[in-house]
Amino acid sequence: MHTPLFARPRWFSYTGCILVSASLIGCYGDPMISGVDPYAPTVFKEGNTAMPLVAPNPKTLLPFYVSETTIFKFAIDTQSILVGNDGVTRYMVQITSPSGSKQTQYEGIRCDSYQARLYGTYEANSSWRENPLGGWSAIKDNIPNRYQAALAQGAICNLSSQVKSVNTVIQSLNPNSFIGGNQVPGFNNSN
Per-residue model confidence as pLDDT tens digits over 61-103: 999 999 889 999 999 999 999 999 999 999 999 999 999 999 9
Residue closest to 145 by CA, chosen among 81, 188, 98, 79: 98
Residue closest to 79 by CA, chosen among 65, 96, 97, 94: 94
Q: Are residues 180 and 139 in contact, defined by beta-carbon separation less than 8 angstroms?
A: no
Mean pLDDT over 135-142 rounds to 93
Number of C-beta neighbours around residue 113 at 10 A: 14
Q: How far apart are CA 87 and CA 85, in angstroms?
A: 5
> Which pLDDT score, from 0 to 100, does residue 19 have?
56
> What is the pTM for the complete model shown?
0.72
